[in-house]
Amino acid sequence: MLVALPSAIAFGVLVYSAVSPEYAGAGALAGILGAAALGIVAPLVGRNGGFITAPCAPAAAVLSGMALDLAANGDVSAERMLSLLALTGLLAALFQLVFGALRAGNLIKFIPYQVVTGYLSGVALIIAVGQLPKLLGLPKDMNLIHGLVAPQAWNWTGIGVGLVTMLVMVVASRITQKVPGAILGLAAGVAAYFLASVVEPQLLQVAGNRLVIGPIDTSGSIVDSVTQRAVSLLSIRPEDIGRVLVSALTLAVLLSVDTLKTGVVLDAIMRSRHNSNRELLAQGSANFAAFLVGGLPGAGTMGATMVNFSSGGRSYWSGVVEGAFVIAAFVLVGGLIAWVPIGALAGILLVVAFRMFDRSMFRLILRPATRIDFLVIVTVVAVAQVELIAASIVGICLAILLFIRDQIRGTVVLARQDLHDAHSKRRRLQAERDVLKTARGQVEIVQLQGNLFFGTTDHLFSVLEPDLARLTWLLLDLRRVQSMDYTAAHLLEQMRHRLQERGGDLLFSGMPSSLPARPDFERYMAELGMVRTSGGIRVFDTRDSAIEWMEDRLLEAAKVAVADDGPPLDLGEIELVRDLDEADLNNLRKSLREISVPAGGRVCSQGDEGDELYFLRRGRVHVLLRLEGDKRHHLATFCQGDFFGEMAFLDRERRSADIEAAIPTDLYVLSRASFDALIKANPALGGRLFEQLALAVSLRLRAADNELRVLEER
């Protein structure tokens, strides 16, 4: 309370003085009532421990800037200006309630830091420019520029009080953290003022004294205040809402960002995580309550929250008690507030403005990579000096440009591979591998990421354009793509035409699984004519199925058969034992048995005991690794003429994966016991078979090593 109350009074005076200096006392009262309502209601609704909500600098800057604009027009009475300010606070509260209901808490936190710090630094300059005349005690009709060059117009008593306040406020934070610097500074300023009254007795008169706040008009009750606010709603005209709508939206966003920024810091020191959407609902409710009682709007404030935490406040009840203490302080010592020096409040606000201003921005100009960020901040600061609402619009536009810049800076190409680095999970025989090795330059697999839009797709086209003249097939893996716009679709269509001119094709795989509705993404491409049953881009569910399709087309072009459902192979046609002579093959046949497995049947299961080696005479099998949650990962596919089961055959451990028949499958089965009996009679045959088995396992290990290398490079 000791931190929040002086600042709340200062902010209230700042806003209401912009309407007219005669309303300074009413402004102080608005700050007090706002601190009370915000402090009590926000924690009761939000239930986020440690938060202290009170009137804050962004609210004061937006409302005072709005008041100055209304006053400059000259066609709005002071009473109507106060009504419009109240309407702005009400609409801002309603906007915050909408933000919370729409769960926009996470989105607001993603406003670029350059925009936020530029806006807050601009607000700091506005506060400083507004408080310097009050610190100097300039006459009402003298602007700051003329006042700075006219020392004869300065009020040295007010200057002295302000300087003492500022000095004590700055030094106090370095000496002690137990008593807030704002309180010590305010106390020192009040003491300096009464000390000066020894020399100037007229300072002890409150009536007509422009160096102090003056009497606070507390006529009527809280009930009367609520009634007056309710009645004021009846006088609202449609044009009033339009007049203050942008200001209200700006105020709502700033208060929300200020609150959520405080929440992020509080989460870090409390090692917890606050509910940002519920906090927005709480802030909207609290600002609505502040409107009802005639108080100033506010947000979760960093200074008071940090003092609350360092004092042991962890529960949301600490915020409620803080609000109750504001009421107690006003009731018990409210009359003394009239004697608070304007210079002391100006000094407090100048220190607040100094701390709000981000001086670290000037470091950004030293590095070429961050100069654009510096220009963004300076632009927002400069525009804020002319018009706060325009600064918010400029900030939003710059946020969009920053996003586009970041997207363009990074590449959407995550990885590029050919058939040397990427293979399908279908194990190929040596003859097939030889063909694919010579044809790998005809195929390229490109894994994409991020957003495909006008800012990134042109770069993608430039990267791939040199290769379009040699490629037959280009596969774009879209698993990590988040969005695609019309420009991207047009450039992809150009790629497809370039490939089709040479008899090739463009392929897609893996529609983005992170999108809420995957069919919508495919429907968008179909509506653009990119995906058709004939003549369009081919779409595959998985990257592996697309690579397998391309491999099959290359093998077909080379006249290499890839059928799995032909007649069963003889033992001599199995690749592993193809080089054995007829006598060895006949000896080996005696140790084999034949089995048939229907489509979907299990050859063996993960964890089974068994040491058999299987030779595929006909058909195709899938190797599936069991995962948590009844899921299975497809490791490999073995086809006619290949073999599997070598791990258990060699080490005699349990099976490491499930093996299922994809289509009706015929197998030769060689158990380790039968093999051991065979090589006792014919050791040379055992040596030749082990040699072939070792070579095949080595090739498979090299392929696995290459796949792991590619994954690690990503």
Cβ atoms of 137 and 211 within 8 Å: the answer is yes
Cβ atoms of 263 and 256 within 8 Å: the answer is no
Give the model's pLDDT for residue 520: 58
Cβ atoms of 60 and 11 within 8 Å: the answer is yes
Whether the per-residue pLDDT at 214 is higher than 80: the answer is: no
Which tops the pLDDT comparison, 585 or 222? 585
Give the model's pLDDT for residue 517: 43
Domains (range + CATH), the chain? 4-73+83-401 (no CATH), 413-557 (3.30.750.24), 571-713 (2.60.120.10)
Of 60, 524, 432, which Cα lies nearest the Cα of 251?
A: 60
The confidence band for 536, taking pLDDT boundaries of 50, 70 and 90, is low
Rounded mean pLDDT of 623-645? 88
Rounded mean pLDDT of 126-146? 81
Whether the per-residue pLDDT at 44 is higher than 90: the answer is: yes
Amino acid identity for residue 344 in this structure: A
Give the model's pLDDT for residue 519: 44
Opening angle at CA 194, ends 193 and 200, nearest 5: 85
Cβ atoms of 667 and 660 within 8 Å: the answer is no
Rounded mean pLDDT of 389-414? 75
Give the model's pLDDT for residue 191: 92
Q: What is the DSSP string of 28-45?
A: HHHHHHHHHHHHHHHHHH
The confidence band for 541, taking pLDDT boundaries of 50, 70 and 90, is confident
Lowest mean pLDDT among 201-205, 303-307, 448-452, 654-658: 303-307
| Highest mean pLDDT of the ranges 51-55, 407-411, 521-525 | 51-55
pLDDT, the chain, mean: 83
Rounded mean pLDDT of 514-528? 59
The confidence band for 282, taking pLDDT boundaries of 50, 70 and 90, is very high
Give the model's pLDDT for residue 563: 66
Which tops the pLDDT comparison, 282 or 627? 282
Opening angle at CA 450, ends 448 and 452, nearest 5: 80
The confidence band for 494, taking pLDDT boundaries of 50, 70 and 90, is confident
Give the model's pLDDT for residue 95: 95
Lowest mean pLDDT among 514-518, 562-566, 569-573: 514-518
The confidence band for 532, taking pLDDT boundaries of 50, 70 and 90, is low
Give the model's pLDDT for residue 487: 82
Cβ atoms of 240 and 87 within 8 Å: the answer is yes
Distances 242 to 83, 286, 427, 669 between C-alpha atoms, Å: 14, 24, 69, 83
Residues with Cβ within 8 Å of residue 206, at least 6 apart in sequence? 212, 214, 215, 338, 339
Give the model's pLDDT for residue 98: 93
Whether the per-residue pLDDT at 516 is higher than 50: the answer is: no
Residue 566 burial by Cβ neighbours in a 10 Å radius (0-12, 13-18, 19+): exposed
Give the model's pLDDT for residue 518: 45
Q: How far apart, in whole angstroms, are the C-alpha atoms of residue 320 and residue 299?
A: 15
Give the model's pLDDT for residue 269: 62
Whether the per-residue pLDDT at 403 is higher than 60: the answer is: yes
Opening angle at CA 497, ends 495 and 500, nearest 5: 110
The confidence band for 617, taking pLDDT boundaries of 50, 70 and 90, is very high
Output the six-digit token pair for 540: 């595959």
Whether the per-residue pLDDT at 283 is higher than 80: the answer is: yes
Of 411, 485, 486, which Cα lies nearest the Cα of 449?
A: 411
Q: To which residue do tokens 């005991």 refer? A: 609
Lowest mean pLDDT among 235-244, 477-486, 531-540: 531-540
Lowest mean pLDDT among 81-90, 236-245, 314-323, 572-581: 236-245
Helix (H) or strand (E) holding 144: helix 144-148
